[in-house]
Amino acid sequence: MPAVNDDLRLELMTSAEVAQALAEGIRTIVIPCGAIEQHGPHLSLSVDADHADHLGILVARGLGNSLVAPTIKVGCSSHHLPFAGTISLRNATFEMICRDYCTSLASHGFERILIFSAHVGNCPPLADMLPRLRAAVPASCRVAAFTDARAWLENWRDAVTQAGGETDHVGGHADIAETSLMLDIHPDRVRPAHYEAGPLGLPSTADLDLMWEKGLRALSPNGILGDPHGSSIAIGRNCIERMTALLVDSFRRDAF
């Protein structure tokens, strides 16, 4: 696993250290969001939370002069609830958590609050709540959120192809991309003996509409979209590097 700088994590700092960072001009903080939901028979429920936690540090490091708030580990996963172990927040609950994060951080003097989710199911509620999050903080504070789920999935597809993986194995959930990135950051949470394929290729808009309405089982009985076969550390690292670049570029464009 590539090294990350834990000293950027707000939760590992003392209050005095945070105050000193603000006094020295650090005004940007990243809020990673994830989910605790099924990822087929071969990946732990923690995939999206683990991924967000890892990306948060890389994004903060890429932006510079930034800190990372504690990852919001549980997200909006109602379409996964038929699978045992999944925990889901209501959209309103997720919004209140994000709002309380933003108002707390703004009250201390952070002026850029940047939210992203490694669980694409959080993207629609994030996009919906963003105007209200912005209204909840002082005008001097900018709240930005990355909510383009399609760009996220297409970036994975391109990263897998570039690294030599099978393009149609990218489906967006427990697939070659997610399995590979977990091989890189938490290989102990991957069970290769239990790899199974789901529907191949990225889901269409109609597929996603069906999933939001009837749950993931309507598309994939085993909870996988794509195929984990062919996963590798090299593919995972390329996915992580490309997602970091996508998020950094997006935040620089929208909040700086």
Q: What is the CATH number of the domain that holds 202?
A: 3.40.50.10310
**Can you name the residues that pair with 28 across neighbouring β-strands?**
66, 112
Mean pLDDT of the chain, nearest integer: 96
User: Is residue 72 one of the residues assigned to a domain?
Assistant: yes
The pTM assigned to this predicted structure is: 0.96
5 vs 204: which has the higher pLDDT? 204
Q: What number is the average pLDDT over the span 215-219?
A: 93
Write the pLDDT tens digit of every residue in 86-113. 999 999 999 999 999 999 999 999 999 9
Q: Is residue 233 part of a domain?
A: yes
Residue 6: the pLDDT is 74
> pLDDT tens digits, residue range 184-216?
999 999 999 999 999 999 999 899 889 989 999
Phi, psi of 52 (to 5 degrees): -60, -45
Within a domain: 152: yes
SS3 (DSSP) at 43: strand
pLDDT at site 99: 98
**Domain count for the chain:** 1
In this structure, are strands 28-33 and 66-68 parallel, antiparallel, or unpaired? parallel
**pLDDT exceeds 80 at position 5:** no
Report if residue 1 sits inside a domain.
no
Residue numbers of the domain that contains 50: 6-255
* Dihedral pair phi/psi, residue 38, rounded to 5°: -60, 145
Residue 35 belongs to a domain: yes
With a pLDDT cut of 90, the percent of the chain lying above it is: 94
Is 94 a domain residue?
yes
Tell me, yes or no, whether 67 lies in a domain.
yes
Q: Please report which helix (H) or strand (E) contains residue 173, including its range.
A: strand 170-173
Q: What is the pLDDT of residues 101-149, one digit of tens each?
A: 999 999 999 999 999 999 999 999 999 999 999 999 999 999 999 999 9
Buried b (16+ CB within 10 A) or exposed e, 74-112: bbbbebbbebeebebbebeebbebbbebbeebbeeebbb
Q: What is the structure's pLDDT at 67?
A: 98
pLDDT of 50 higher than 60: yes
Whose tokens are 């919004």? That residue is 95
